[in-house]
Structure 1
Amino acid sequence: MQPRFGIRSKLLLSILAILLISYSTLIYSTMTTMSASLRSEIDRNLETYLTYARSQLSDRAKIVKYSLLQPATSRTVHEHMKDRDRAWLTDRLRGVHKVLPYLEFLVLLDADKRVIASLKDDQPDERLEVPGVVEQALVGKRVVISTEILSGALLCRTGVERYCDRGGESEAFVTTVAVPVLAEDGRVLGCMVAGEVLNDRPTLPDELQEVSGRDVEITITQRDLRIASSLPSTLRDSSTLEPEVIDVLERGEVYRGEAMIGARSFETVIDPILNSRGEFVGSLSVAVATERFKQNRRQNLENILAAAAVGILCSFGLAFLASRHLTRPLRELASSASRIEEGDFDQRVEGDQDDEVGMLASSFNQMVQALKERDAIINRKTSDLQELNEQLERMVDERTSALAMEMGRLEAVLTSLAEGVVVTDLDNKVVLFNPAAQQLFEMVPHRVVGKPIEQVCELVGFTPLLARIREFTQAGAGGCREELTVKGKRLHVYLSSLTDEKGNFAGIVFSIRDVTVEQQVDKMKTEFISTVSHELKTPLTSIKGSLQLLLTRSKWLTDTERQLLTVCFRNTQRLIRLIGEILDISGIESGGMVFKFKPVSIGELTVYAVEEIKSYAMGRDITIVNTVGEHLPMVYGDSDRLIQVLTNLLSNAVKFSPEGKVVMISAEQEGNYVVVSVADKGRVIQWSDRDRLFKKFQQIECQERGKVGGTGLGLAICKEIVERHHGRIFYTAAQERGNTFSFTVPIIGETDGKK
């Protein structure tokens, strides 16, 4: 099928689009740069002319300042001011006026602002208030130059007679200079005040314009009224500033904008004139004509557009010729490729060009030859793949059968388990529910499988597990054990998370064991042993007393008889101690053991415990090192029971340590608890025995000494006592050799409210 647009058309359109985009970008960037340059030049001219106009307005005031500083610092002037020599001071002021003839008034005031001398002969001795200027000069003891709007009445009082006939409503825009007269000790003697009325200098902008040229218009306003301007008289208005311009100037900000003056366009900058109190009293504006700048920009744009048009036409002609030359061999390649697509692998392209097109033709011919060879290989490999596919299908069938057998075995194992097993998937929905779990939950599988585990837990009373299930879902790994009582049954629930091949959470396995019968048997055993112990304790106590009496008072005994009685006495003590341990654990479990809680020192308790076990340790050549310091805070507990815990832990450490080793007892504060640790150098307890450490009637065999005698209640009693103190007891194995038993006791203030 003939394409709608050939490669030549696409190449021409692409080149034309590139040219248009390039020239458009060039024109846009050039115009942007030119506009920014013109804008910068206009702003620079405005700033230059505004600075020049400001300097021209303030130059005379600076001349007045430095002219008045000389008499203001003269001692002769100071003496005549103290004598209030009006005639002499008036002559001195007139001498200054001859040097500065443009001053409209020149007044000398004393410290109370009363007129001492002026250019006017009959000036009365009265107070003269020039708003702001005189007060700032006297208080600040510095020269103050300011442009003020003064009333006609004030000007008349200062000696400007032409304002005396204009009434009290007239005003004038006056450049005012106030120079304080200071004595040598810094005391204020008075103030010299001079002023020049700008309303009488309407040609001032024309003077400035002679320097800047006719493209610049300069205007001075008193508030919003023109008082001086370089504009032609036909364009001068009585009011020149708009309200929005006045708002900007009253905030003390410079206004910038465009304005049409007559038929010409101007860029305008208006600078506010503020009086000594920071109030807006007038403005100085400079306007620069933009006709010349716009004309330059227009001419540059015309030149750029003409150059772009010529460049585009020339580039398009060259592109047409180049595309025609380049696309001919490409069309031949396209025709050959279509025949190859139909299966003609004997197709070849003739290419004699010594360029990229010739290289393309050569590569095309090589590609056709390679395709021909690969087609033969593909046909040959296809038959091999079919055979391999058949073998793979046979292997899949065999593996499927093996997996089915494994699944059958697993199902048989789960079915025969005495413990209930429940498995959930990634969404915590039940996917497995074995017969033991059915008996425990008293529910059939079709009511459980596929349901969320949260819903199943609520149905069977396993609601305490919901929080743990949420933790597993969020954490994604781990295992824990929980004890629950459901429908009168005591259950041990083991939770373990499942993970996929990437280690992500994939479900939870619940293993549920009914230990109700075991606990009942354990309770019966404990009650039986407690009863027997109570019955044995009384006769054993009598036997102990009798043996002790015989040993202390029977002097006629032979050595053999005394040795036999001593063995009987020692075994009786051992039996009484074992029975005491049994009664202690029974009392703790039944709540009959009374604890007397009070503030105690761990340091003192460890000293007492070490003293009790010292003789036993010396008999086995064991050294006990006590590192507990006196800096630890007081704890809240029963001192006798805590000593019992320490003595038991020390006794076990000495009992299971090889001879000649060291047993260390230490303590440190962790948060609101004191942690007490007893460490030995014996063989590390095996993993299989660690779960039985704190259970009743459990004995741990020592490889060095075999099975050590005892009731197996020592650590169980310690656990019960520590838990009654709101602490915990735990075991830690050393990396190489040694065991550490630790327990926590709350410091004073942590359990007071609980007791």
Structure 2
Amino acid sequence: MKRIAGFFKSFQFKLIFIYVMLLLIAFQVIGIFFMDSLEEQFVENHRNALEDQMSLLSYNIEETLIQETEDMDQNDINQEINDLISRYEVNELSSTGSTIQVVDSQQNVLAHNQHGTPSGGLLNTEIRVSQALLGQDSNEMLLDPDTGHRMRVITQPLDGDDDEIIGAIHLESSMEDMYDEVTQINNIFMTSGGVALAITAVIGVLLSRTVTRPIKDMQKQSAVMSEGDFSRRVRVYGNDEIGELASSFNTLAMNLKEANATTEGERRKLSSVLSHMTDGVIATDELGRVILLNKQAEILLSLNSEGAKGQSLPDILDLSGQVTPSDLYDYSEPLILDFSDEQEDSLIEASFSVLRSEDGYVTGLITVLHDVTEQEKMERERREFVANVSHELRTPLTTLKSYMEALEDGAMADEDLAPRFLNVIQVETDRMIRLVNDLLQLSKTDVEEHELQTERHDLTHWLHQLVDRFEMLVKDRNVSFVRRLPQWPIQVEMDRDKMTQVLDNVISNALKFSPEGGTITVGAELQGEEAWIDIQDEGQGIPKKDQHKIFERFYRVDKARARSLGGTGLGLAIVKEMIEAHEGSVWVSSEPNQGTRITISVPLASSGEVGEHSG
């Protein structure tokens, strides 16, 4: 059913229908003109034939009536006229179904061709006969009221000598035989026309396929091309216009295939570039609605590509209510967007580039997003670092300048003040030396100038030696060390000097902030593939809000106390750098007024074995 319905909607059916309808219209026009002309010609021929026969019959009857003799009675005259009528009826009028009557000047019927009916005593009262006796001819086509047949009625006067009217002749001839003949001819014409139309329709179907077949092929090809397949070709059936169209279609398919391949290649290149860019890219249409964004843009903005498409660019950049899409066309300088929250900082630099058509109309906007969080953080740290170094150096330099001016003004001669002033100058000088040394150490770490000289060491034995040294240094202070070290060796790969510097900084901090009579606990244990070192003091502790910052450069929880104890604020920063160079980590845990624990993890030696418990 679908194929039948499709055929009636097809171009082939329309072409055949138009072709047959044109032929049918032409046939109808020709048929109407032909049948009208044929009928008119038949009627005219029938009338002319009757008129000719009537003229000849009238002439002979007139001659008979004029030449009648006195010895001829009326019956002889009537008989001779009947003979004339019979002769003409047999020769000329037998097929016409005609009725002929001859009347005298008194409208008495002299003769007729109605066999079996005597003519004597008959009177014709037809008005046309009366008019003929008055010299008026009549030739009309009438409808028989009894049979409904069409009749040709002709009435002519009979002239005697001296143009005297001596009678009339009246003819009634049926035309049905003629119209039957016309109808037969019409039927023959219609039948032959119908056969011709049927043959023409069949030929039209066959001929139309020569036109519609290549068109159907091109339609199928266009459907395949719409799905992206440009490999199929249309068959060329000839060199006519349709053949040229098919050739042009094949050329178009080939060009589209090449163009599509080029476009696909460029699209893949662009997609690869966008996918591997470290910057985020967002493309919008002329109305500022997002039509494309790469993976990096999704990461930077924490968006989903499908969900973001169609949204307004200011909305996804958190600029809604501040700017409109058209405002972004005028941004020639990058815009810093702050997406920071309580957990982490996030600063993104957005650069805007307007896309325009050849006639200058805006067709879209390209936005490039660059994560500048670390850059801004480094810049902030650089500024803070310069400020901190300047501050840390200014204090001892100011102290040195003040004490040297005091010595210059006469304190040098004072035996009590001079040694004290010189001692302060020496302390501040040592403090600046420590600060410069720490800065140099950090500088080497930043530019990766340091190289670890790692060797296999027994961590337990090394920690015992380290604690022994510190116990000798603090024997005059009321601070004690507690060792929680395993009794078996723990083998690690480390740079002994660098790790010694790390533990010196951590234990020195613990000593600085330990109260009188306090205890510092040094411990070590195994945790999976790592060794953990713990240094626990009993100081005032570190607030929660400051714990994640203590490994930053120049950061001090209590700046006044730390500076009074000679701290530079760089020790724990150096510790973090050194431990990370050993592929380890360091962290802090502390509670207010309950001390602070610094934990350091370092990997175990890859090929060494952990010693057994010595008992």
* TM-score (norm. length: structure 1): 0.29
- Higher relative contact order (CA closer than 8 Å, sequence separation 6+): 2
* TM-score (norm. length: structure 2): 0.35
